[in-house]
Structure 1
Amino acid sequence: MVVADDVGFSDFGAYGSEIRTPHIDAIAANGVRFNNFHVSPMCSPTRAMLLTGVDSHLAGVASLYVATPLHHRGRPGYEGELRTDVVTIASRLRRAGYRTYLSGKWNLGRTASSLPSARGFDRTFALDATGADNYEKKPYLPIYDEPPPWFADGEPTDLPDDFYSSEHLVDTLVDFIDGDRGAVEPSPFFAYLGFQAVHLPVQAPREFTERYVGTYDEGWDALRHARHQGAVAAGVFPATATPANTPEQADWEALTPDEKAFAAKNMAVNAGMLEAMDHHFGRLVEYLTGAGLAENTVFAVLSDNGPEAGDPAASAVFDSWAEGVGYSRELATLGEQGSYAIIGPHFARAAAAPLAYYKFHGGEGGIRVPLIMSGPGVEAKGVVPAFAHATDIVPTLLELTGTSDTTPAGKHPISGLSLAPALRDVAAGIHPADEAIGFETAGHAGVFKGEYKLVRVGAPEGDGRWRLFNIQEDPGETRDLASEQPQRLEELLSDYEAYAERVGVREVPASYSPGRQLLINYLFDRTMANLGWWVAGAGLGILLIVALVRCIRRRRAQLNPR
């Protein structure tokens, strides 16, 4: 399972992109592409569902812990780490005789019971954080005081001096696999490869970035239109459908020449970072082919959510923080070690095109992402239009490997369905038309049912209103059907309420915004940490005073015996 980070719907070449991803495209050419596959708008909930087949609330990771309202923290579903009453696919496959490996982003907890080494993985090199620098171990956002933590087989570890994330994560995974090849009877294996590309900070070696210099000089509107045409040509977006028109796009022509050059260079780094990821994924495929393993390997390549639209540099504290940590935004070296590239909301919208919105939002651009599968059991070729969900990956891999999906007593059963029928016939359906599949993350909520989607898009771009779309005909979500089909609206609202009750959704405040909550949580945690030192210091002072008083009393007693 290969999980890219913040890759948009049309970012891979096989989905209509100008970015060169030949190795991923080759996997697509030999298998199937899903164009109606859905995840959470945030990374941790998606990863929880991908690894357990269980809704993210029931898995304990309803939202990013760092963006969870303070009064939700620690409540059922909002523990911020993978609960012990869910079973990972690694645990299931290990019981079936598989060796299990993880290399890359985990972000599902770092306690003794939640690190991947405690959740079914034999060998691990894991990042337990929302993101990280791609070259060195240091804080990557102003809200973090410490570098993101890395763990090797459950123990804290550091990074080598020549670290570049995509390269090192593939090297590590190859070492894990190759280390078991010498066994008398090598076991089959399951590998989870969690790339950092293309999460903030956007960084890529110069040779990859240079290939895209000039590519984005026409701006985000031109790219958005090109991506729409590319997606139609690739067969992943209906030619008859209207591309999204939300959220609003800034006027590229209103920028100065210097501003245009800077924005275009940031996007060039983003493209270079994705091509670098594909290049190193190709090295993994090359290794598996040389070892005689590729032809018997099932590949699932996907993204955890839509593209990142956030712009940390817009913060008033960013420049001083960046200087202190050692980040530069100089045009000439953008993307290289010590630099910090950001694509921002307007290029992010283009990366999600022709869909609406992006990461942190419940519009299709935030939750509909690429899914490519190939290998044994994938007999079909082409595009699968059937609705599919993150919880479907576990039952699919279990069926393809002939592994039982029976869940031990006291654990949450798998809620997803196997995608295997669509792997044999791209026209096959997966979920019954009358099945309601709900979702909720940080106030972005909705339910899918047949061809329809009920959705509430919250802050920072949405208005919190419920809208109804036929996403089979209108994947761009351009025509709200709520007033035309009030009965269907009420039916899906009832379905959502039942889902929310079943999984334990807690509504966020009306004023909630992920960015604002990140800052609130940071200030609260920092205050509590400092308060803890004051309390500890005060407590120590009291103990010292008590000890001194007792010492004085004993001394007086010795000098004045009765």
Structure 2
Amino acid sequence: MRLGRLQRWLWGGFAGLAAACAAARAEPAPVRPNFVLILVDDAALMDFGAYGGEARTPNIDRLASAGALFTHYRTSPLCAPSRAMLLTGIDNHRNGVATIPEVLPPEHEGKPGYGLRLAPEAITVAERLRRAGYRTYMTGKWHLGSGKGDLPSSHGFQKSLALDASGADNWEQKPYMPYYDTAPWFEDGKPATLPADFYSSEFIVDRMIDYLETDRATGDPFFAYVAFQAVHIPVQAPRSYTARYEAVYDKGWDSVRTARWQRAQAMGLIPAGAPVAAKPAGLRRWDALPNPERRLLAKSMAVNAGMIEAMDDHIGRLIAYLEKRSALANTVFVVTSDNGPEPNEPVSQRGFPLWMRMNGYDQNLDRLGEKGSFVSIGPEWATAAAAPHSLFKFYASEGGLRVPFIMSGPGITAQPRVSAAAFVTDVAPTLLDIAGIEGAGGMTMTGRSLRPVLSGAADHVYAPDAAIGMEVSGNAALYRGDYKLVRNLPPHGDGQWKLYNLAQDPGETRDLGSTEPARLRSMLADYRSYAKSMGVLEIPEGYDPFRQITLNTRIKILKHHGWALGGILLGGVALVILTLRLIRKRRPA
């Protein structure tokens, strides 16, 4: 009797377990989404159509209309630190890329956080996704090192085509500044040669599609990091795109600056009536320039808009590919910029025109932006592009930090305006959260997942009293609620801390330091706490990033061409000696 009961109990238990297993097998596992992370280079907040820009960007706008368009997202003011934070979710001083090598002062060389290569403990989102079974790809600008263990293939990307430089020509494999002696492209960790018909935006997307197609049969989800060169110097675009904007910028930068400020208010990017940022000192007046110079400058900005539209067209090809392969509906897109618009105008710098001629560059107006053409928009157009905000790339003012940020895809509620604060370090933890992957191992991320905001479950992830710091090469900021503490170094800053209420004054026009001294002291204490915990080094006395890049470039030139310069010098000395000997021989005894 007891045995029978025991048998029935055992059989019942087995039956229940079998039923549970069968139910588990019948219930499909959750489908993990694909990810496409699109990074634009030097795009201002209002450069895309969805944010009120002049350039046509229907594909980016399509993603924005179906997803969440953020209006208060901040990055760093320089490319490599932003890219390192984007990929790791870790502050730039902790992940190893505190600044860029071009502006690194010798006092900081080799110091913790300033090695300018990703620290081994700073595990990228690509590596974390790869470990979880994702296919991982990267195409475009890397700028995080090309030494042993530095390229994408050592940081989680199974296939990659990477440019390890701050920029390069978009039509040919050649450098864009004397700091580099070539355009260092690598494929899967090995030096790569570009095709003869290369155009950067097209080729970057072509190669990404190749990677996706080659491994499509595996059925595994993918992470695709697409890092465009647009719109970094040299600004270049096919003639067909530039031609559409030939007349758009003829009235000059003040006209564009005012129009963007007005559109920003109409679109709700800033409060109605909020003042536009003051213009930096020393800028040229449009109406004081001779007509040939105005024509060149107007067309330079037309090339800039054309380059943005060309990039958007190629983004459209990637979207179309995913749609054709029935992968689009399960793909999360991120579109953002590494920092604000680029103000540098290299052509006006001493010696640069000679370097241009030696490297096959000119500024022929008729074919401006095409192969062999060197274009930059300069500080006046950068000021207009950054409107209604203050300053531009390199600086910690809003024009350098506040950039577009769009997320679209499964699980993301369509939201035409997301006013929640978000930061570049939030992207990696957000993607991992959406994928259902724990961020175990390696260095702790400093960012937060934005998933509650994206799903509509919350309207913010940072409390109003949360203090968020940022520093690159002495330019620094700390956000706390509506308030911002900021310091900018010369030439466009004075090195002094200033306090602004961004809810009322997004253009940073009214320093509240003297009227709210207690808040200034409190936020300065928060910044110092941030700097200490992250390992921020004090900037050397008299440091100027633009003078530093000149010094670092000269050192690089000597490294690249020291043997040639030495040969020329020795040849000159030999010629002088030979000449003196001939003179002595010809003298009468």
Task: Output the CA distance in 1 between the equivalents of 2:352 and 2:373.
Answer: 13
Task: Output the CA distance in 1 between the equivalents of 2:316 and 2:137.
Answer: 18
Task: Output the CA distance in 1 between the equivalents of 2:450 and 2:284.
Answer: 39
Q: Counterpart of 1:161?
A: 196
Task: Output the CA distance in 1 between the equivalents of 2:87 and 2:429.
Answer: 10
Q: Counterpart of 1:414?
A: 445
How far 1:527 sits from its partner (Å)? 4.2
Task: Output the CA distance in 2 between the equivalents of 1:513 and 1:522.
Answer: 14
Task: Output the CA distance in 1 between the equivalents of 2:501 and 2:264.
Answer: 19
Q: Counterpart of 2:276?
A: 243
Taking the TM superposition and a 5 Å limit, the aligned residue runs for 1:458-473 are: 458-473=489-504
1:56 to 85, 92, 95: 92
Q: Counterpart of 2:107?
A: 71
Q: Counterpart of 2:151?
A: 115
| Partner amino acid, structure 2, of 1:56 | N
% identical equivalent positions: 50
2:122 to 86, 100, 106: 86
2:397 to 360, 363, 367: 363
How far 1:432 sits from its partner (Å)? 1.4
| Partner amino acid, structure 2, of 1:244 | A
Taking the TM superposition and a 5 Å limit, the aligned residue runs for 1:38-437 are: 38-144=74-180, 146-183=181-218, 186-248=219-281, 249-406=283-440, 408=441, 411-425=442-456, 428-437=459-468
Task: Output the CA distance in 2 between the equivalents of 1:528 and 1:11.
Answer: 38
Q: Could you give the per-residue CA deviations for residues 113-142 of structure 1, whole angstroms, max 9, x where no partner exists?
A: 111101001110001100010011112113
Q: Which moved more, 1:481-490 or 1:105-114?
A: 105-114
Task: Output the CA distance in 1 between the equivalents of 2:491 and 2:74.
Answer: 21
| Partner amino acid, structure 1, of 2:301 | M
> Secondary structure of 1:298's match?
strand
Q: Which moved more, 1:524-533 or 1:254-263?
A: 524-533
How far 1:427 sits from its partner (Å)? 6.7
Q: 1:530 to 1:148 in 2, by over 3 A?
A: closer
Task: Output the CA distance in 2 between the equivalents of 1:485 and 1:228.
Answer: 27
> Secondary structure of 1:58's match?
helix
| Partner amino acid, structure 2, of 1:147 | T
Q: Residue 82 of structure 1 contacts residue 108 of structure 1 at CA under 8 Å; is this kept in 2?
A: yes
Taking the TM superposition and a 5 Å limit, the aligned residue runs for 1:436-447 are: 436-447=467-478
Q: Which moved more, 1:421-430 or 1:503-512?
A: 421-430
Task: Output the CA distance in 1 between the equivalents of 2:565 and 2:312.
Answer: 50
How far 1:534 sits from its partner (Å)? 11
How far 1:232 sits from its partner (Å)? 2.4
Task: Output the CA distance in 2 between the equivalents of 1:367 and 1:427.
Answer: 24
> Secondary structure of 1:398's match?
helix
2:525 to 494, 500, 503: 494
Taking the TM superposition and a 5 Å limit, the aligned residue runs for 1:3-14 are: 3-14=39-50
Q: Residue 107 of structure 2 contacts residue 540 of structure 2 at CA under 8 Å; is this kept in 1?
A: no
Q: 1:115 to 1:295 in 2, by over 3 A?
A: same
2:486 to 439, 449, 455: 455
1:523 to 533, 554, 568: 554
Q: Could you give the per-residue CA deviations for residues 297-335 of structure 1, whole angstroms, max 9, x where no partner exists?
A: 000000000000001001121111111100011111100
Q: Residue 105 of structure 1 contacts residue 127 of structure 1 at CA under 8 Å; is this kept in 2?
A: yes
How far 1:159 sits from its partner (Å)? 0.3
| Partner amino acid, structure 2, of 1:497 | R
How far 1:533 sits from its partner (Å)? 10
| Partner amino acid, structure 2, of 1:477 | E
Q: Residue 383 of structure 1 contacts residue 426 of structure 1 at CA under 8 Å; is this kept in 2?
A: no
How far 1:342 sits from its partner (Å)? 1.1
| Partner amino acid, structure 1, of 2:75 | V
> Secondary structure of 1:405's match?
coil
Task: Output the CA distance in 1 between the equivalents of 2:251 and 2:561.
Answer: 49
How far 1:277 sits from its partner (Å)? 0.4
Q: Residue 10 of structure 1 contacts residue 351 of structure 1 at CA under 8 Å; is this kept in 2?
A: yes
Task: Output the CA distance in 2 between the equivalents of 1:270 and 1:506.
Answer: 36
| Partner amino acid, structure 1, of 2:117 | E
| Partner amino acid, structure 1, of 2:230 | A
Task: Output the CA distance in 2 between the equivalents of 1:262 and 1:120.
Answer: 44
Q: 1:151 to 1:530 in 2, by over 3 A?
A: closer
Q: Residue 179 of structure 2 contacts residue 556 of structure 2 at CA under 8 Å; is this kept in 1?
A: no
Task: Output the CA distance in 2 between the equivalents of 1:506 and 1:396.
Answer: 29
Q: Residue 384 of structure 1 contacts residue 426 of structure 1 at CA under 8 Å; is this kept in 2?
A: no
Q: Could you give the per-residue CA deviations for residues 362-410 of structure 1, whole angstroms, max 9, x where no partner exists?
A: 100001100011101111321111111000001111111111122x1xx
How far 1:526 sits from its partner (Å)? 4.1
| Partner amino acid, structure 2, of 1:493 | L
| Partner amino acid, structure 2, of 1:234 | M
Q: Counterpart of 2:587?
A: none
Task: Output the CA distance in 2 between the equivalents of 1:516 and 1:267.
Answer: 26
How far 1:148 sits from its partner (Å)? 2.0
Q: Residue 250 of structure 1 contacts residue 346 of structure 1 at CA under 8 Å; is this kept in 2?
A: yes
Q: Could you give the per-residue CA deviations for residues 13-45 of structure 1, whole angstroms, max 9, x where no partner exists?
A: 111111111110110011111111111100000
1:34 aligns with 2:55: no
How far 1:70 sits from its partner (Å)? 1.2
Task: Output the CA distance in 1 between the equivalents of 2:562 and 2:59.
Answer: 52
> Secondary structure of 1:182's match?
helix
Q: Residue 116 of structure 1 contacts residue 154 of structure 1 at CA under 8 Å; is this kept in 2?
A: yes
Q: Counterpart of 1:539?
A: none
How many correspondences in the alignment?
Answer: 529
Q: Which structure 1 segments of 5+ residues have no match?
A: 536-562
> Secondary structure of 1:3's match?
strand
How far 1:425 sits from its partner (Å)? 2.6
TM-score, normalised to structure 1, is: 0.92
How far 1:198 sits from its partner (Å)? 0.2
| Partner amino acid, structure 2, of 1:457 | N
| Partner amino acid, structure 2, of 1:171 | D
Q: Counterpart of 2:4?
A: none
